[in-house]
Amino acid sequence: MKQRILNTLEHYNHVKNHVFNAFNHPVIVLMYHRVLDQNEQGSPYTVTTSHFRDQMLYLKDHFEMVGLEDNWQNLERPACVITFDDGYYDNYTIARDFLSPQSIPATFFVATQNIGTKNLFWWDDLNLHQAFYEKSSGLTMMQLFRQLKNSQRNDQIRFFNKHQPPVCCDEATRKAYRSMTKQELISLSDLPHMSIGAHTINHLNLSKQSIDEIAFELRESQLRLEHIINKSVTSCSFPYGSYNRKVIGVSQKLGFNTACIGVSQNAYHWTNRLKIPRISVEDVALGTFKRQINRLIP
């Protein structure tokens, strides 16, 4: 009986959303990570500067560019939101050099563990020393990524203490993969249309953590960022887009009013603001980008 009621409700929601979609413009929330002049390793998380500029100029001409926390009601045409995850230093350069003069709003979700240090995120460390880690652990890259992504923080620390590459990264490499400094975060958040959001401290997969760990990761990253930029931090994105009921509940309790999840579809003004879906952008030239974006317009 309960299942039948749930199925009916789900069906009702599906029909309701379908009807709403016909009368409301979509909000396409785009997810970027890094923007660099070169993407030598073909990283799926890097978009080259020239592609990024072409993509932004196209969006600005054809979409209403809105902020993540703006009111999305009464849009006159399909809208687009720009977001960045992780907090690499290039986000600051790009925002200052290109987004800000173009008045394109953007939100930057920052994992706080490496702010102001030259420490690497674990996945960059892994990529840079691929052969070493595979040999030392006896696992393939794919297995290592899956294992570390779903680990508890202590297990990650144990792994990297046990497997230490003989030659560590040189200064240039550390610079190339660094996170933003405190000052860069302050300058970024002072720019008009730019906002900072939380992305946990240690970039853990929150759906695999205890409720205490979820609360710690979200609360401490929010507090650290608020302390740095001296503004409220009310948006977050969940690492790997992963969430469950506990994660949403904790986010709500901590005062987040917007949270991004890892579902690849359009958002609408009536979308639950604690479950905003996003579209990941690849390093593609304008022609391909146009086709990919226009496929999203009903």
The closest residue (CB) to Zn ion is 85
Stretch that binds Zn ion, among 84-92, 167-175, 208-216, 290-298 (CB under 5 A): 84-92
- Encoding tokens for residue 76? 């006159």
Pattern 177-216, Zn ion, x by CB under 5 A? ----------------------------------------
Number of CB atoms found within 10 A of residue 255's CB: 11
Backbone angles phi, psi at 23, to 5 degrees: -110, -5
Q: Least distance in Å: CB of 240 to Zn ion?
A: 7
- Give counts: helices (H), strands (E), the chain: 12, 11
Q: Which of 34, 83, 85, 104 binds Zn ion (CB under 5 A)?
A: 85
Q: Least distance in Å: CB of 127 to Zn ion?
A: 15
Q: Least distance in Å: CB of 180 to Zn ion?
A: 14
Indicate the helix (H) or strand (E) that contains 186. Answer: helix 182-190
Report DSSP state, residue 277.
E
Exposed e or buried b per residue across 137-153, where buried means at least 16 C-beta atoms within 10 angstroms of its C-beta: eeeeeeebeeebbebeb
Size of site (CB under 5 A) for Zn ion? 3
Stretch that binds Zn ion, among 171-179, 214-222, 237-245, 287-295 (CB under 5 A): 237-245
**Residue with smaller CB distance to Zn ion, 104 or 236:** 236
DSSP, collapsed to helix, strand or coil, labels residue 131 as helix
**Which stretches of the chain bind Zn ion, using CB under 5 A?**
85-86, 239
